[in-house]
Amino acid sequence: MISSSRDGLRTEHILSANRLFRGLLQGFMLARFLPDVHALGWSIVAAGSLLSGSLLADFALTLLVGHRSDRLPPKRLLMTGEVLSVASGTLFFLHPSPFSLAVAILLAGAGQRSNGSPGPWAPAEQTILSRTSPGGETYRIFSHNTFWGLSGMAAGAFAGMEAPAAGHPLVVLRFAMLALIFLSLVNILLLLRLPDRPAGAFSARGLEKSGRLTSREHWNLSLVVSSNLFYGLSIGMADAMISYWFVLKFHGSPQQISSLLALSFLASAGLARLLGNLPDRLKAFSYVLLQLSGLIGIALLPGSTSLWSAGLLTTLRIMSVRAPGGLRQALVANSVRPARSGWSAGLHFSSLHLLQAAGPLLTGYFWESHRTGTPLVLSAAFMAVSLFLTIFLYVRTSSPEQRECPDQITPRQTRGPYERRRSENASNGT
C-alpha cells in the first residue's frame, strides 16, 4: 500500500515536471509564433490554415490514442509523442523552410498547444493520472498538473518578451526548435522513471470484465462531447489567434504581446493552484463562475479601445478558460469508471479538437475581410452554449447516484430490471 502511494506521488511529480517543460516552449511560441511568421510574409489565411490543419490532425490522433490508452501502456504513448517532437524540431533546426515548419506544427503542435499539454497524447497522460490518483484527490491532482503547465507558459512568454526586437524571426524560430529538442529529451528521461505498470492499471482482460458503458456513462460522455464541440470552436476562433489580433487591431509589438500573455498565464497558474485546494463543495460553483467570466471577457473584447484594456479582458478570458482546465479533465475522468478513463479522455480531447480545427481558418477568413470583431462575437456565442451544456454535466456527475455508482459494473449489471429479475429467477430454479 505504501509502495503504491509512493508510486502515485512520483507519477504526479513526473507528469507535473513534463507539463512545466512543455509549457515553457508553448508560452514562448504562443506569444511569438504568429507575429514572427507574419513578419516572414505569411498571410493570415496561410497561418490560420496551417494551425487548422494541425488541430485536425490532432483530432484524429487523439481519438486513436484515447482508444489505445486503455489497452497499451500509456507511458509508452507519451514517450512516442516526445520522440516525434524531437524529430520535427531537429528537421526544422537543420533545414529551416516552410515545409519543415509545417511538420513541426503538425507533429509538435508548435504555436497552437497550451497549458503544457502533450496534445493528442493527452489521453495517455490523463489515463495515468486518473488511475494513480487516490480517492477524492482527482480534482486536486489535475488542477495542480494544470498549474505547472501554466507556470511554464508564463515563464516562456516572459522569455519571448526578452527576445531581442532586432532578431530576425527565422533566428527566433530556430531557437524555439532547439529548445523543443532539449525539453523533449528531458521529458523522455523523466518518463523513463515512471512505473511501467502503475497501481490501478488495467489489462485488456480486465477491461473486458468491466463491462460495457452504462446508459448513465453514455449520457455523461454525450454531454462532454456536445459541450466540447462548442467550447473548442470558441477557443479556435479566439484564443488560438489572439496574438495576431493584437497585431491587427493595435499594431502591438512581439514584446508587448509577450508581456500581456505572460501576465495572463502567470495569473492563470495562480488561480489553477487555488482551485486545486478548494473544498470539493465549491469546485462546481467556481468552475461555472469562471466559465461565465470567460464568456464576459470574450464578449467585451471587440469593444476594447486600447492595447492595455484589451490585455485586461484577455487576461480575464485566459484565466477563466485555462485555469480550470484541470477541473474539466477531472470532471471527464469522474464521468466514467477508471477502466474506461482512456476512452473518455480520448473523446474529451478529440471533441475539443474537432471544431477547434476550423476556428483559425474561419478567423483568418474574417480578418482578411477586415471584420476583426466578428470571430470574437461568434466565440462568445459558442461559449455560451458550451456553458449551458457543462452545467448539466456537472449536475449529473455530482449527483448522489453518480457518487454511489460502483467502479466495477459487470455486463449483468448493465441490463434492465426485467432482465435482471428473470436471470435471478432462473438461477433460483423458479
pTM for the model:
0.76
Mean pLDDT to the nearest integer, 42-58: 83
184, 188, 330, 413 from 122: Cα distances, Å: 15, 15, 13, 31
Question: What does the pLDDT read at residue 282?
Answer: 78
Question: Is the per-residue pLDDT at 216 higher than 70?
Answer: yes
415 vs 249: which has the higher pLDDT: 249
Question: Is the per-residue pLDDT at 122 higher than 70?
Answer: yes
Q: Report all structural domains of the chain as residue ranges with CATH numbers, in order of start.
A: 5-195+220-398 (1.20.1250.20)
**Which of the given ranges, 18-32, 130-144, 154-168, 342-356, has the highest pLDDT on average?**
18-32
- In sequence order, which residues have a C-beta less than 8 Å from that of residue 135 and are 6 or more positions away? none
8 A C-beta contact, residue 320 and residue 297: yes
Q: Grid coordinates representing 302?
A: 471587440
Q: Grid coordinates representing 94?
A: 537543420
Q: Grid coordinates representing 364?
A: 483568418
Q: Grid coordinates representing 60?
A: 484524429
386 vs 216: which has the higher pLDDT: 386
Mean pLDDT to the nearest integer, 158-175: 77
Q: Calculate what percentage of the chain has a pLDDT beyond 90.
A: 26
For the ranges 212-216, 311-315, 317-321, the lowest mean pLDDT is seen at 212-216
Mean pLDDT to the nearest integer, 259-266: 90
pLDDT in tens, 321-374: 888 887 777 777 777 776 666 677 778 888 887 888 888 888 888 988 888 889
- Burial (CB count within 10 angstroms: exposed 0-12, middle 13-18, buried 19+), residue 372: middle
Q: Grid coordinates representing 304?
A: 476594447
Question: Is the per-residue pLDDT at 195 higher than 50?
Answer: yes
pLDDT in tens, 59-89: 888 878 877 776 778 889 999 999 999 999 9
279 vs 118: which has the higher pLDDT: 118
423 vs 16: which has the higher pLDDT: 16
Mean pLDDT to the nearest integer, 284-300: 87
Question: Is the per-residue pLDDT at 37 higher than 90?
Answer: no
8 A C-beta contact, residue 319 and residue 267: yes
Helices (H), 304-357: 307-322, 325-333, 341-356
Q: Given the C-alpha cell 477568413, which residue does it identify?
A: 365
- Burial (CB count within 10 angstroms: exposed 0-12, middle 13-18, buried 19+), residue 174: middle
Q: How confident is the model at residue 225 (pLDDT cuts 50, 70, 90)?
A: confident
Closest residue by Cα to residue 283 from 274, 294, 292: 274
- In sequence order, which residues have a C-beta less than 8 Å from that of residue 129 and are 6 or more positions away? 11, 12, 15, 138, 141, 142, 145, 333
DSSP 246: H
For the ranges 44-58, 132-146, 245-259, 282-296, the lowest mean pLDDT is seen at 132-146
Cβ count within 10 A of residue 368 = 12
Query: What is the Cα Rg of the chain in Å?
Result: 22
Question: What does the pLDDT read at residue 44?
Answer: 79
**Which of the given ranges, 164-173, 230-239, 348-357, has the highest pLDDT on average?**
230-239
Q: Calculate what percentage of the chain has a pLDDT beyond 70.
A: 81
Question: What does the pLDDT read at residue 398?
Answer: 64
383-389: long-range pairs with CB below 8 Å, 24+ = 383/230, 383/231, 383/234, 383/291, 383/294, 383/295, 383/298, 384/295, 385/230, 386/227, 386/228, 386/230, 386/231, 386/234, 386/291, 387/288, 387/291, 387/292, 387/295, 389/223, 389/226, 389/227, 389/230
Average pLDDT of the chain? Answer: 80
408 vs 106: which has the higher pLDDT: 106
The amino acid at residue 10 is R
DSSP 3-state of 133: coil
Q: Grid coordinates representing 243?
A: 496574438
Question: Is the per-residue pLDDT at 420 higher than 60?
Answer: no
Mean pLDDT to the nearest integer, 11-30: 92
Mean pLDDT to the nearest integer, 181-199: 85
Question: Is the per-residue pLDDT at 240 higher than 50?
Answer: yes
Q: Grid coordinates representing 128?
A: 495515468
- In sequence order, which residues have a C-beta less than 8 Å from that of residue 28 and are 6 or more positions away? 156, 157, 159, 160, 176, 179
Question: Is the per-residue pLDDT at 33 higher than 90?
Answer: no
For the ranges 108-112, 293-297, 318-322, 423-427, the lowest mean pLDDT is seen at 423-427
Question: What does the pLDDT read at residue 430?
Answer: 42
Question: What does the pLDDT read at residue 399?
Answer: 57
Mean pLDDT to the nearest integer, 387-411: 60
Backbone φ, ψ for residue 208 (5° rounding): -65, -40
| Vertex 35 angle, CA 29 and 37, to 5° | 85
pLDDT in tens, 375-386: 999 999 999 999
